[in-house]
Amino acid sequence: MRIMFDVSGTVLGIIDLSLRPGIKMTIDGLRQNGMEVDFWTSGPVDYYSSLLARSGLGGVVYKKMEPLPFTPDICVDDDPDDWFAAKTYRVTPHLGADMPGDVILVAELLQSQSGENFYWD
């Protein structure tokens, strides 16, 4: 299974670039269980790749709205679009350390793959 995470507002805070609470544990857990985790952004790919590497998450960052070399199974985003090619797991925006988004739970994320689009509001 391949899971795509948006970077700004989903993994990193929009205001201060802090990690969403629990996101490292969630992504590490997914990877340890054989899931492929990738990232995408509307911003500068090299910049966000560097931030993710420094945060210990690493991984490939793709540009949104450009063709992907694969089809993800689940797209995790704080502002999903209709063009997403997979099931959508919408999360509350992570603005920063003082205004964190909700923790993304692995069980809920994987549950979203079995049904229709899942909106966590």
- Residue pLDDT, tens place only, 47-98: 999 999 999 999 999 999 899 999 999 999 999 888 787 888 899 999 999 9
Q: How sure is the predictor about 19, in pLDDT bands with cuts at 50, 70 and 90? A: very high
Task: Indicate whether 114 pLDDT > 70.
Answer: no
pLDDT at position 113, please?
55
Residues 6+ apart with CB under 8 A from 2: 35, 36, 37, 38, 70, 71, 72, 73, 74
Name residue 75's amino acid.
Answer: C
Q: Which two tokens stand for residue 103?
A: 């923790």
